[in-house]
Amino acid sequence: MNENQRLPAVDRVLQQIPELIAAHGRQLVTACVRAELAAAREGLKHGLPLPDEASLLTAIHRRADEAGRAKLRPVFNLTGTVLHTNLGRAQLAEEAIAAMVEAARSPCALEYDLDSGGRGDRDDLVSGLLAELVAGGSPDIAATIVNNNAAAVLLTLNALAQGKEAVVSRGELVEIGGAFRIPDVMRRAQVKLHEIGTTNRTHEKDYAEAIGPKTALLMKVHTSNYAVTGFTATVDEQKVAKIAHAANLPFVVDLGSGTLCDFAAYGLPPEPTPQQALAAGADIVTFSGDKLLGGPQAGLIVGRKDLIAKIKKNPLKRALRVGKTTLAALEATLRLYRDPDRLRERLPTLRLLTRPVDEIAALGERLLPTLQAALNKLAQVSVEACSSQIGSGALPVERLPSAALVCRPLARKPGKSLLALERAFRSLPRPVIGYIRDDAYHLDLRGLEAKDEAVFSAQLHNLKF
């Protein structure tokens, strides 16, 4: 009998796996069955034995489960970078998650004014709250929201300076992740960049002398992702604002990350805030919602009400606006800042950044025996001091004391063993992302909270090398 004829028909196989069809749908499962049967036929051509029924069904289950698995999966971020761009940046507060779920589940008053019964403005959901937090509720301050801070800068420049010049210090022409550069943003916004000063030194006179008939605004960009030290000079925001206002020009500040609380009050390195920028005389401030603020991905533009109105009328605003779930999460996150006494415990970003090192090290000691048993004779595990970083371009030089589980392969040449370790942790049911340094695999435990300890520990027995 021809070996190919002994392979079961597709319909017969499908009849044996109703639970797989219920989980993934008939179309996907049928494709997996056909793929496995085709692979078996190809194997027969090359002298491989006919797979038995149990092996065939196992292979189909594996293929279907892999194909049906979500691409966006939760992971354990043990990289030592709290706000990791590739791992989704800020973890949302429970209040923000609940608000997103509610907004997604039900119709909601996104652009509907419940008081008048007429059409509303989606920015109104958070504009007043932002004005309250950054300017004490000043009636002269408004806000608008777009999908990220790069969009906030692009929209602001295009709305306020299209066809004209924006004056920026050469030392502030930053590049952020993905080769995204301020000069490139300006070109896309149809704004001409007027560089002043040098890489390391810019003075008041540089701003004043740059102003001409084509100048539309003065701008400062917070150099959040690098630091220039040594023989340097910068002009503070208050002085730039004075120069801009003397020439009847708006002053724009791009903070990049942006936070609404005083980091120093929590024992963290200080970071500039929108409140400080506005108090110094900035007319427009742009910053992110998903970095130090601890909310969803968004770009926040706050400042003078008349300038915000002009920005909102720009056609790009509609292309860059955010949806109801983002606004729901942002509103819920901003509400947390009304209660600073409980902010640390309720906002994951702040909670992770301020975790005591003793608490992190104690977690490592609890996990050490389980991990050592899982790695057996492949590696020696220890709990060691390390340094975390905030990430996402914030405070690039500053480090936070932390503790890590450090896995040192016992092989003479650890290269292949380290790659195998890294791959094994990434292949866990909930992937674990660490980092390789100094011939060891590190798991910085700042990113692992006690509430996730049991899940992390329980899956270590699944490590396969």
Task: State pLDDT tens for residues 231-252.
Answer: 778 889 999 999 999 999 999 9
Of 315, 296, 307, whose CA–CA distance to 217 is shortest? Answer: 307
| DSSP structural state of residue 286 | E
Q: How far is CA 30 from CA 26, 39, 453, in A?
A: 6, 14, 39
The backbone region for 278, taken as left when phi is positive above 0, alpha when psi lies in -120 to 50, beta otherwise, is: alpha
94-346 is a CATH 3.40.640.10 domain: yes
Q: Positive or negative, the Cα torsion across 236, 242, 244, 249?
A: positive
Per the DSSP assignment, residues forming a β-bridge with 435 are 442
Token pair 């301050």: residue: 141
Taking the whole predicted model, whether its pTM rises above 0.85 is answered as yes
Per the DSSP assignment, residues forming a β-bridge with 443 are 405
Element (H, E) at 376: none
pLDDT the model gives residue 225: 63
Whether the predicted pLDDT of 1 surpasses 50: no
Say which residue, 225 or 337, is predicted with more confidence: 337
- Whole-angstrom distance, CA of residue 357 vs CA of residue 396: 20
Q: Positive or negative, the Cα torsion across 114, 120, 126, 127?
A: negative
Whether the predicted pLDDT of 200 surpasses 90: no
Q: What would the mean pLDDT of 156-160 be, rounded to a whole number?
A: 97
Say which residue, 179 or 274, is predicted with more confidence: 274
pLDDT the model gives residue 182: 86
Whether the predicted pLDDT of 161 surpasses 80: yes
Whether the predicted pLDDT of 42 surpasses 70: yes
Lowest average pLDDT, out of 159-168, 222-231, 288-297, 325-334, goes to 222-231
Q: What is the CATH number of domain 76-85+352-462?
A: 3.90.1150.110
Radius of gyration of the chain (CA): 27
259-278 residues labelled b (16+ CB within 10 A) or e (exposed): bbbebeeeebeebbbbbbbb
Lowest average pLDDT, out of 39-43, 229-233, 293-297, goes to 229-233
Whether the predicted pLDDT of 346 surpasses 50: yes
Task: State pLDDT tens for residues 52-95.
Answer: 999 999 999 999 999 999 999 999 999 999 999 999 999 999 99
pLDDT the model gives residue 5: 58
Q: What percent of the chain has pLDDT over 70?
A: 96
